[in-house]
Amino acid sequence: MPQIQAHELSRTFRVAERETGLLAALRSLVRRRHRIVTAVDRVDFSIEAGEIVGFLGPNGAGKTTTLKMLTGLLHPTGGSATVLGCVPWRRHPDYLRQISLVMGQRSQLYWDLPAADSFEVQMSVYGVDRVDGRRVLNELIELLGLGGVLKKPVRTLSLGERMKCELCMALLYRPRVLFLDEPTIGVDITMQARIRQFIAGYNRSHGATVILTSHYMADVTALCRRVIVIDHGRILFDGPLAALAERLAPFKVITIDLERDANGSDFSRYGELIGQEARKVTLRVAREAAAGVASRLLADLPVLDLTVQDPPIEDVIGRVFAESARPAAEPVGASAS
Amino acid sequence: MSGLPRAWLALLRRSIAGMIQYRGEVALWAIWGVIYPAVALTMWNAAARDAEGGAIRGFGPSEFATYFLLSMIVQHLTAAWDVHEMGWQVRTGQLSPALLRPLLPMWGSLSDNIAYKLVTLVILAPIWVLVAWLVQPRFEGGWLDYAAAAAAVLLGAAIHYLWQYNLALIAFWSTRTNAVGEFWFGGKLLFGGLMAPLPLLPPLLQGVAAMLPFQWIIGFPIEVAMGRIRGVDVVAGLICQALWALAAVAVFRVAWPASLRRYGAVGV
């Protein structure tokens, strides 16, 4: 029995719009123009207990709107969904006690108070047994390395510290389903890795179901076996991550910093030139050729620094859309569900 | 302790800690609540001195002093401001974290409301004593009047809080609710008895005031405490207050789900 099911789930927004300028502002007093924007368009998927699923798409693709519906923040305008057998937007307290939404850009913590105070309130609000709660809190503090920040007001914490506190808040009551919206946004690479490890550990030890949205490919590759790609509110791919990587991102991005100006050099023999400044060059090369190209660049040119990275997920998806002649409505991959 | 009481007391402790953190700003808001009655008292005292017999419809300087001193206290104890807060919360999506908790967001806002009143008492109580010493009010009520007034203040606070919260739900349709809040405050000033004791209003305005909730928030508790309303009229008044509070709960039960259907959860 799937733990999360969405069927023809849709959400539209009525958005007021007008031209720029004073005249347009005055005109809008008399006659307001509205446009219906479809944020999520009849999406279908189901997720089994214990899965970690990456929910990917460019900004405005509809992934966060879908999460908002699944967590009960938004009512859909069409279709249906159930999470743990409940209709999310009925917001039944028993349902809300079993889910958690961590938002990279929105805090559950109380800004002016020490993080420890937020944790105390959270345990009381979620009716966590005092003895159990204390034990879970101590575990989380240790796992997340929060010992040094508990007494500091939240507003004085660094982004990474705050994000770890958000995770602690979210997991204090042991939710069965975890919705993570950009959980590593803005934090440094070391912290990103720790957060990923922690999420994977929580999934393993508690069998929790996790839906993750992220712009960082590294988050997705580290955590998700399955990904759902969404754009313009429609699911374009639902299947194993391996298939997505081969299909949508069969290339790497190599960036080199040079000792002297590269003007006049021909970089097309190494790969597709996608960016060039005086001493910095960015190339797109086939995934399997990346290592060889990197070696050649180091041998041929006065390279100060060289990085090989997966392309940003937005670029990958955008490129696929640009290259694909298929209509957006047609799925690129086979459904895993 | 478990369930809602445990959760709400935890929220109250959080709110008190938050208010103490911003004690300077909170103190200024509380003192602002003293200024209106002080201005009204000065004006009415001047008017009473010039009036024939030194009184206006039974209100002389000492009655005005008692009335406006009590209005400082009642206004503080019945204060509510959600209509100003909610617009911001809806517009910026700040309501979302509260909506994710297995508890009505109203409980969080109620804890803030009560925390504000408790924390600012430390500042206001000495100010009230100082004002009382300056204006020499005359308290003629008995213990029964004060007990009834305490009940009336409690019900007045409930009416104000609940109706403000209902009004705040307009934010889900039109996110700018500050103007609505100002309009409400105007109603409280004129029809609640903040600007003038209700018996001094022209009959037409008294008729309008009778149909609105404002007098049950401010005017009625003050007049009960002054001993101007007694016996069966007090009981009838308390029943009217309870009905206004129950009506607010009924409106909330319909309006809240409808509001949530409108929520756009911006910026999450």
Chain B hits for A75, CB-CB cut-off 8 Å, are 260-261, 263
Asked if pLDDT for residue B96 goes beyond 50, the answer is yes
Q: Residue A246: its pLDDT value, please?
A: 65
Pairwise CB contact (< 8 Å): B268 & A103: yes
Q: Enumerate residue ranges in chain A where pLDDT < 70.
A: 105, 245-246, 248, 312-337
* Cβ pair B21:A181 closer than 8 A: no
- Mean pLDDT of the B27-41 span: 85
Expressed as residue numbers, the domain containing B149 is 3-262
ipTM: 0.86
pLDDT of residue B84: 86
Q: Do B93 and A72 touch (CB under 8 A)?
A: no
pLDDT of residue A328: 43
- pLDDT at residue A323 in the model: 55
The 3 state secondary structure assigned to chain B is CCHHHHHHHHHHHHHHHHHHHCHHHHHHHHHHHHHHHHHHHHHHHHHHHHCHHHCECCECHHHHHHHHHHHHHHHHHCCCCHHHHHHHHHHHCCHHHHHHCCCCHHHHHHHHHHHHHHHHHHHHHHHHHHHHHHHCCCCCCCHHHHHHHHHHHHHHHHHHHHHHHHHHHHHHCCCCCHHHHHHHHHHHHHHCCCCCCHHHCCHHHHHHHHCCCHHHHCHHHHHHHCCCCCCHHHHHHHHHHHHHHHHHHHHHHHHHHHHHHHCCCCCC
Which of chain A's residues have a Cβ under 8 Å away from the Cβ of B268?
A: 64, 68, 73, 103, 105-106, 181
Q: Which CATH class is domain A250-309?
A: alpha beta
CA distance A83 to A85: 5
Give just the sign of the alpha carbon dihedral B56, B57, B62, B67: negative
Tell whether B21 is within 8 A of chain A (Cβ). yes
CB contact under 8 A, B11 and A181: no
The answer to whether the Cα torsion of A130, A136, A142, A148 is positive or negative is negative
Q: What is the CATH number of domain A50-77+85-247?
A: 3.40.50.300
Q: What is the mean pLDDT of chain B?
A: 91
pLDDT at A317: 61
Probe site for chain B from A113, A118, A121, A180 (most B CB atoms < 10 A): A121
d(Cα B191, Cα B249) in Å, to the nearest integer? 22
Helices A313-323 and A241-248: angle between axes, nearest 10 degrees: 60
pLDDT at B268 over 70: no
Average pLDDT over residues B237-256: 97
Of all residues in chain A, the one with the smallest CA distance to B92 is A106
For residue B64, the model assigns a pLDDT of 93
Cross-chain CB nearest to B100 (options A101, A121, A153): A101
Which residue intervals of chain A bear CATH 3.30.70.980? 250-309
Phi and psi for A43 in degrees, rounded to 5? -90, 145
B222, part of any domain: yes
pLDDT of A320: 59
Q: Is residue B268 part of a domain?
A: no
Number of domains within chain B: 1
What distance lies between CA A70 and its chain's CA centroid?
Answer: 15
Token code pair at residue A113: 């108070």
CA dist B8 to A123, A172, B104, B253, Å?
Answer: 12, 18, 11, 20
If one counts every other C-beta atom within 10 angstroms of the C-beta of residue A317, the result is 24
pLDDT at residue number A334: 35
What is the predicted pLDDT for the residue at A333?
Answer: 37
Summarize pLDDT for A249-297 with one digit per residue, the tens. Answer: 778 889 999 988 877 778 888 999 888 888 889 999 988 899 999 999 9
* Paired tokens of B45: 């005292």
Closest residue in chain A to residue B104, using alpha carbons only: A93
A251 forms beta bridges with: A286
What per-residue confidence (pLDDT) applies to A314? 58
Please report residues of B whose CB lies closer than 8 A to that of A103: 96, 268
Average pLDDT over residues B257-266: 85
